[in-house]
Amino acid sequence: MRRFFVPPELCRDDVFELPEREARHATQVLRLVVGAELTVLNGAGAVLDCVVETVTKKSAKVRVTRRAERAPLPCAITLIQAIPKGPAFETIVQKATELGGSRIIPLLSERVVAHVNAKDAPTKVEKWRQIAIESIKQCGSPFLPKIELPVALESCLSQYTLAPDELSVVCSLKESNRTLREAVDSFATAHHRPPKSCRIWIGPEGDFTPAEYTAIAASGATPISLGPLVLRADTAAIACLAIANHELQLAR
């Protein structure tokens, strides 16, 4: 797969150079030569078919042969994920990108054990962004999800207020809660149309505290169940995103 990521501002012309990171991959890993075909994704919906014009050990210039703009998915899905310990959040970013998530908000809730200070946060976000870039190159999505800076729950609730056309759900361990499909159907009945955007709240190891659940529900989130089994935080995120992808994208 010869897919490369180039930000929109760097690939507006019909001939342009690949950024340094992508050029190294093209020249030193794939060893592309003049005339080789490749695909450039700009992360904002554009898919560019290109051929290599010139190549050196450290740079590659390509020429666009065809441009195509893909329409965004019917529903913009935001994952609000309490940061789990270890590398699990990296897996979540990767899979959320593959499943069409449009935004990821790393959440610092009471039971989050991962330590993220303000100084290190931009570096972590850039690392997560690079994981998302590799994911769109792997799956062929022309849309790069926006990854926000880690935010505390109280700030998240005040900063990211619910839009009128947005469905919000929070995954809960209570089996009595409705399913995501039921939440979507209820929204469609009340608003006479399916949601144009959806936010999904996933807790950390140990889940949200009762007070946090109350605050999230008060913000407009509907508690939903993913079944009778207790899922890891990363498994819950992937499972819920997969269900949301079907209910809000493929089934419409």
Do 120 and 240 fall into the same domain? Answer: yes
Cβ–Cβ < 8 Å for 194, 187: yes
pTM: 0.93
Do 229 and 106 fall into the same domain? Answer: yes
Do 124 and 51 fall into the same domain? Answer: no
Supply the CATH number for residue 124's domain: 3.40.1280.10
Number of structural domains found in the chain:
2
Do 26 and 143 fall into the same domain? Answer: no
Per the DSSP assignment, residues forming a β-bridge with 218 are none
Tens of pLDDT, residue by residue over 64-115, are 999 999 999 999 999 999 999 989 999 999 999 999 999 999 999 999 988 8
Tell me what pLDDT residue 116 has.
85
Do 212 and 228 fall into the same domain? Answer: yes
Tell me what pLDDT residue 252 has.
60
Phi, psi of 188, rounded to the nearest 5 degrees? -60, -35
The sign of the CA dihedral 144, 200, 126, 92 is negative
Domain boundary among 26, 50, 69: 69
Domain ranges, residue 90 = 76-250
Per the DSSP assignment, residues forming a β-bridge with 43 are none
Q: Is 42 helix (H, G, I), strand (E, B) or coil?
A: coil
Q: Binning pLDDT at 50, 70 and 90, where does residue 206 land?
A: confident
Tens of pLDDT, residue by residue over 137-192, are 999 999 999 999 999 999 999 999 888 889 999 998 877 789 999 999 999 999 99
The sign of the CA dihedral 140, 127, 78, 236 is positive
- For residues 228-237, give the mean pLDDT: 93
